[in-house]
């Protein structure tokens, strides 16, 4: 197991108690809503301004006191990696990522002068031809596929960006990696999305959205994006989770009076991360029979070979700077359980409630799930243009 307890404990007094540098606070009055738009609907100038703002965060020095961080971008990646166990396959999955996307947006606007729409990736449009997506081709874009044994992206504005945090929260230098894969991306099909939106309860909708739609975005990009802890290193992460947040808001809006308070689930993962890697039959969690739900063959139906050998994925392309994806050929290894996190959820037990604390390692103030349930008010303050 990767041991992160000591590192996380050292961060908790800073973040949960809000000691040290005071984090930014969002205007909870929500006087001016930010606009959420598909990347394809942005003008060329808006696209360039957004990319420039992300590059700005990658160049700004850290401010939150996180050991090892060299930039604001590093701090965002750390905030996700340090609590990965508690924001995936748990009731807080959708609320946390709505909060996290908003934290990223706030930094873009307050520190990098970005004033355009917040883009999301309308993923069903690119099913079957991910390499031709406007996200990865044309000018401007996020750059294309990875090359070489490490699958480092070789073109575009992020080709020479160096990431730093590893799964154990120590640091090393590595690139943003991608290995675009249509088979893995097939779970993003609109039929799968529509199936999720038909569910009546939060628990069923969350589990469905965290299945095919969520995992298709990560799996279709691969490289850095497939690493559950480190995926925010690739700026595509925020457009992917902006899209998932839009889907959750679309589900909420179909019965808003009821669904603004509908949250449930557990605060610890609903399955155990096995020390030898993910289950091989592709059924159930973590990826709901990813992609497409058929769960045939080796994990995820068997990915093409790369520089990894053996399980998982039968030789899955690597390139995240810490060996093949998921910690090496033996499978993905999550951080060990950490009581320091569990004691600060404020739910009074293991069931996720509206009082649940959402944390960003001191980058912004802690909020509760209740603070982000209405995406068009309060902390989030967005117009999703449904």
> So where are the chain's domains?
5-383
Residue showing tokens 């909708």? 205
Please return the burial class of 180, using the count of CB atoms within 10 Å of its CB with bins 0-12, 13-18 and 19+.
Answer: buried
Kind and range of the H or E element at 210?
helix 202-210
300-319 core/surface letters (b: 16 or more CB in 10 A; e: else): bbebeebbbeebbbbbbbbb
Alpha-carbon Rg for the chain, nearest whole angstrom, is 19
Q: Can you spell out the DSSP letters for 322-382?
A: SSSGGGSTT---PBPP-HHHHTTS-SSSSB--TT-EE--TTSB--EEHHHHSSTTSTTT-E
- Judge contact between 287 and 215, C-beta under 8 A: yes
Query: Where do we find the tokens 């925020």?
Result: 238
The pLDDT tens digits for 303-339 are 333 333 223 333 334 334 333 333 333 345 677 888 8
Question: Token pair 């349930």 is at which residue?
Answer: 373
User: pLDDT confidence of 26, banded at 50, 70, 90?
Assistant: low
- pLDDT the model gives residue 358: 96
Q: List pLDDT tens digits, range 62-114.
A: 999 999 999 999 999 999 999 999 999 999 999 999 999 999 999 999 999 99
pLDDT at 159: 97
pLDDT in tens, 105-128: 999 999 999 999 999 999 999 999
pLDDT tens for 250-295 read 999 999 999 999 999 999 987 654 443 333 333 333 333 333 333 3
Q: Is CATH 3.50.50.60 the classification given to domain 5-383? A: no
Q: pLDDT class for 8, splitting at 50, 70, 90?
A: very low
Q: Give the residue from 367, 357, 368 showing the smallest Cα distance to 24.
A: 367
One DSSP character per residue, 114-171 reads --S-EEE--GGGGTT-GGG-TTTSSSS-S---EETTTTEE-SSTTTT-EEEE-TTS-E
pLDDT at residue 293, as a whole number = 33
Sign, CA dihedral 227-105-66-80, equals: negative
Contact in structure between 347 and 353 (CB atoms under 8 Å): yes
Q: What per-residue confidence (pLDDT) applies to 306? A: 33
What's the burial of 250, exposed, middle or buried (CB within 10 Å: 0-12/13-18/19+)?
middle
């Amino acid at each position: 197991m990767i041991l992160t307890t000591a590192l996380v404990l050292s961060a908790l007094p800073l973040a949960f108690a809000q000691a040290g540098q005071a984090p930014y606070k969002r205007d909870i009055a929500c006087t001016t809503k930010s606009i959420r738009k598909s990347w394809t609907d942005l003008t060329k100038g808006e696209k360039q301004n957004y990319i420039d703002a992300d590059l700005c965060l990658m160049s700004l020095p850290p401010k939150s006191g996180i050991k090892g961080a060299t930039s604001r971008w590093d701090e965002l990646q750390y905030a996700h990696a340090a609590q990965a166990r508690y924001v995936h396959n748990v009731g807080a999955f959708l609320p946390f990522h709505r909060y996290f996307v908003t934290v990223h947006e706030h930094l873009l606007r307050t520190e990098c002068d970005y004033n355009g729409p917040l883009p999301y990736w309308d993923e069903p449009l690119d099913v079957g031809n991910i390499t031709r997506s406007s996200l990865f081709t044309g000018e401007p874009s996020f750059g294309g596929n990875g090359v070489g044994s490490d699958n480092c992206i070789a073109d575009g504005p992020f080709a020479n960006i160096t990431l730093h945090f590893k799964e154990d929260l120590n640091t090393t230098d590595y690139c943003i990696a991608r290995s675009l894969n249509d088979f893995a991306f097939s779970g993003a099909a609109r039929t799968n999305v529509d199936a999720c939106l038909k569910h009546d309860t939060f628990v069923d909708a969350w589990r469905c959205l965290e299945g095919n739609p969520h995992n298709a975005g990560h799996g279709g990009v691969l490289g850095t994006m497939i690493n559950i802890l480190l995926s925010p290193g690739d700026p595509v992460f925020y457009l992917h989770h902006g899209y998932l947040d839009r889907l959750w808001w679309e589900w909420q809006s179909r019965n808003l009076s009821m669904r603004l308070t509908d949250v449930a689930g557990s605060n610890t993962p609903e399955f155990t991360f096995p020390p030898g890697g993910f289950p091989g039959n592709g059924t159930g969690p973590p990826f709901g029979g990813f992609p497409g739900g058929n769960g045939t063959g080796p994990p995820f139906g068997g990915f093409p070979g790369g520089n990894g050998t053996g399980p998982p994925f039968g030789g899955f392309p690597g390139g995240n700077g810490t060996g093949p994806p998921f910690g090496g050929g033996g499978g993905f290894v999550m951080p060990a359980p950490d009581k320091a996190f569990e004691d600060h959820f404020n739910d009074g037990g293991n069931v996720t409630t509206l009082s649940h604390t959402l944390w960003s390692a001191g980058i912004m103030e802690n909020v509760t799930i209740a603070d982000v349930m209405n995406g068009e008010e309060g902390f989030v303050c967005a117009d999703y243009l449904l």
